Amino acid sequence: MGLSETDALDVEGIRADFPILQREFDGEQLVYLDNAATSQTPEPVVDAIVDYYHTTNANVHRGLHQLSQEASIAYEDAHDRVAEFIGADGREEVVFTKNTTESMNTVAYAWGLAELGPGDEVVMTEMEHHAALVTWQQIAKRTGAEVKYIRVDDEGYLDMDHARELVTDDTEMVSVVHVSNTLGTVNPVSELVDLAHDHDALAFVDGAQSVPHMPVDVGEMGADFFAFSGHKMCGPTGIGVLYGKEHILEEMQPYLYGGMMISKVTFEDSTWHELPWKFEAGTPVIAQGIALAEACDYLDDIGMDNVKRHGEQLAEYAYDRLTETGDVEVYGPPGDDRAALVSFNLGDVHAHDTSEILNEFAVAIRAGDHCTQPLHDKLGAAASARASFYLYNTREEVDKLVEAVDATRELFA
């Protein structure tokens, strides 16, 4: 693991940490290019989970015995480590959830239902993931608020002039995706956060596709809320993170109630635990949280700047190779200005057919609308095929992707 003398990722060394990449299907070695959905998990992270269950397995914050104390310390330290990884001020600003979607819903229900009403507006973008779009859409229906969408131009960029028109003094929340999971667009989130704050609105950034692939500093970004998932960044499934500014989380009321999140309970009323525990009702994601901290260590050891550069280079290479023939449409910005994914369609071949043929070559991609149905409607595509890259992928794997696309073209000729 680490860097070679050429200051590029030592991909072969990294790949040794991911035994699953050695799997073969009918004699073909797996080419895993579905990282925007879920990344693979390196052995140090798996070891952290196993070690917890072998040595420390106990519930947290509830026992005076040694195992419970050790588990509680490890779980609390995990919040500290994640806070450090994203530039938060401390564990008070880091709530562990199940995933990005639950993080979105936590804010929508705990803040949105209380703060939104008729005449208020939520501004999003046309490239939002359903986790944000559906959530705010449904909260708006309950509260009488209105949702507006910043246009995406023909190249896949946000129309920032339109953004400045939409965000007004009636705006209460600007909720934007940091990196589009369909277009690969990296949005100017700091500019959008500033725009929200200029109108006394809050800003929520969906970082599901950014935290795994680039350095993120929420303090520097200025977002009021920020969400991401562990399973896209070498961590386990079942763990997500909601970052929130401490003073805002203090004012919000929880929307999940029960054990763990309370301070004092009587038959008449209850009071809440301190941050972040008041938003973590019930037995929390203990093993997953500890393993997520290990994933942060793993990525920091490699260097997030290096991860970012590697993913961008692979995306540019894939963009160039796929568009060589002229019958492949790649959606989103040019190859040299996108994050680590390419969504595309081959002529009139349905994306599902493309994915099935690629699977015969052991090339794993995603096909569908990628939880961005309204965006696909705008693109005029029922679905798209998506190849997404991570720190263990290689140019040779991109070549194999292109070879499989060529075989698909010949099959449907």
- Residues annotated as catalytic are 371
DSSP reduced 3-state for 272: strand
Inter-residue contact 339 to 213 (CB < 8 Å) = yes
CA pseudo-torsion sign 82, 87, 88, 91: positive
Closest CA to 320 of 213, 381, 379, 398: 398
User: What DSSP element (H or E) covers 386?
Assistant: strand 384-388
Inter-residue contact 364 to 25 (CB < 8 Å) = no
DSSP reduced 3-state for 89: coil
Provide the token pair at 159: 């129309």
Task: Compute the distance between CA of residue 158 and CA of residue 186 in angstroms, rounded to an integer.
Answer: 10
Inter-residue contact 101 to 228 (CB < 8 Å) = no
DSSP string across 158-223: B-HHHHHHH--TTEEEEEEESB-TTT--B--HHHHHHHHHHTT-EEEEE-TTTTTTS---HHHH--
Q: What are phi and psi of 360, to 5 degrees?
A: -65, -20
